[in-house]
Amino acid sequence: MIFLTALPLFWIMISASRGGHWSAWMPSSISAFEGTCVSIPCRFDFPDELRPPVVHGVWYFNSPYPKNYPPVVFKSRTQVVHESFQGRSRLLGDLGLRNCTLLLSNLSPELGGKYYFRGDLGGYNQYTFSEHSVLDIIITTHPTSWVPPEVVAGTEVEVSCTVPDCPELHPELSWLGHEGLGEPAVLGRLREDEGTWVQVSLLHFVPTREANGHRLGCQASFPNTTLQFEGYASLDVKYPPVIVDMNSSVEAIEGSNVGLLCGADSNPPPLLTWMRDGTVLREAVAENLFLELEEVTPGEDGVYACLAENAYGQDNRTVGLSVMYAPWKPTVNGTMVAVEGEMVSILCSTQSNPDPILTIFKEKQILATAIYESELQLELLAVTPEDDGEYWCVAENQYGQRATAFNLSVEFAPMILLESHCAAARDTVQCLCVVKANPEPIVAFELPSRNVTVNETEREFVYSERSGLLLTSILTLRGQAQAPPRVICTSRNLYGTKSLELPFQGAHRLMWAKIGPVGAVVAFAILIAIVCYITQTRRKKNVTESPSFSAGDNPPVLFSSDFRISGAPEKYESERRLGSERRLLGLRGEPPELDLSYSHSDLGKRPTKDSYTLTEELAEYAEIRVK
The answer to whether the bond into 414 is cis (omega within 30° of 0) is no
Cα of 121 vs its chain's centroid, Å: 97
Residue type, 189: R
- What CATH architecture applies to the domain 417-505? Sandwich (2.60)
pLDDT grade, residue 587 (50/70/90)?
very low
Domain 331-412 in the same topology as domain 19-138: yes
Question: What's the pLDDT score for residue 402?
Answer: 95
Chain Cα centroid distance, residue 289: 22
Length of the chain: 627
| Confidence class for position 188, pLDDT limits 50, 70, 90 | low
Three-state DSSP state, 156? coil
pLDDT tens per residue across span 304-354: 999 999 999 999 999 999 999 999 999 998 778 999 999 999 999 999 999
Q: Is the pTM of this model over 0.85?
A: no
| Distance in Å from the first CA to the final CA of the chain | 145
**Which of 2.60.40.10, 1.10.490.10, 3.20.20.70, 3.40.800.10 is the CATH number of 151-235?**
2.60.40.10
Coil, strand, or helix at residue 110? helix
Question: Domain-by-domain residue ranges, the chain?
Answer: 19-138, 151-235, 241-321, 331-412, 417-505
Gap between the Cα atoms of 474 and 456, Å rounded: 9
Proportion of the chain above pLDDT 70, given as a percent: 76
Q: Residue 309's closest CA among 261, 262, 276?
A: 262
Q: How far is CA 587 from CA 523, 592, 593, in A?
A: 16, 8, 12
Strands (E), 235-327: 237-246, 250-253, 258-267, 271-276, 279-285, 288-293, 302-310, 313-324
The CATH H-level superfamily of 19-138 is Immunoglobulins (2.60.40.10)
pLDDT at 465: 93
> Is 154 within 8 Å of 206 (Cβ atoms)?
yes
Q: What element of type H or E holds 422? A: strand 421-425
SS3 of residue 482 by DSSP: coil
State the pLDDT at residue 619. Answer: 41
Q: How far is CA 251 from CA 208, 261, 325, 356, in A?
A: 37, 14, 11, 17
Among 276, 275, 102, 272, CA closest to 197:
102
Q: At how many degrees (to 10) do helices 570-580 and 507-543 cross?
A: 70
Statement: residue 626 has pLDDT above 80: no
Q: What are the φ/ψ torsions at residue 538 (nearest 5 degrees)?
A: -65, -35
Give the Cα-Cα-Cα angle 258, 261, 265 (nearest 5 degrees).
175
Domain at 241-321, CATH homologous superfamily: Immunoglobulins (2.60.40.10)
Give the mean model confidence (pLDDT) for residues 348-365.
Answer: 94
d(CA 589, CA 581): 11
What average pLDDT does the structure give for the chain?
Answer: 79
Rounded to an integer, what distance in angstroms lies between the CA atom of residue 156 and that of residue 185? Answer: 14
Q: Among positive and negative, which fits the CA dihedral 114, 119, 122, 123?
A: negative
Q: How confident is the model at residue 546 (pLDDT cuts 50, 70, 90)?
A: very low
Give pLDDT tens digits for 439-478.
999 999 999 988 899 988 888 889 999 998 899 999 988 8
Distance CA(378)–CA(404), nearest Å, equals 14
The region, left, alpha or beta by phi > 0 then psi within -120 to 50, assigned to residue 457 is: alpha
User: Looking at domain 331-412, what is its CATH homologous superfamily?
Assistant: Immunoglobulins (2.60.40.10)
